[in-house]
Amino acid sequence: MKSMISRRNKIIAFLIIIINIYFIPVSVSIILSNGGPEGVSYWVLPFSILINLFFVPAVLSFKKNFEQRVSRINEVGIALIVLILILGIVSIYI
């Protein structure tokens, strides 16, 4: 049972890392481009940075010392990321 939970935590951490492969360059490009035309991209930046904050606990979950400590953070992180992505997709079609 413990290995199943550990495996689930590693899958969640891996998903957070994969998602951040896209969102870290997005955050950097928004900051470097000064928000794009008329600063419209600054509306996306808080959500992008919020997603980026979960990158560190996801990486730490692959270390034995931090595995149990960051598992809840990763679970909250993936739930928040999915919520942000779903709300972002739904808001496009409304």
Q: Which domain holds residue 86?
A: 2-93
d(CA 15, CA 2): 20
Residue 1: predicted pLDDT: 62
Residue 94: predicted pLDDT: 66
d(CA 51, CA 42): 15
Query: What dihedral angle (degrees, nearest 10) is formed by the CA atoms of 55, 4, 76, 80?
Result: 80
Q: pTM for the full model?
A: 0.86
Query: What is the three-class DSSP state of 27?
Result: helix
d(CA 55, CA 9): 14
Q: What is the pLDDT of residues 33-63, one digit of tens each?
A: 888 788 888 888 888 999 999 999 999 998 8
Our count of domains for the chain comes to 1
| Cβ count near 13 (within 10 Å) | 25
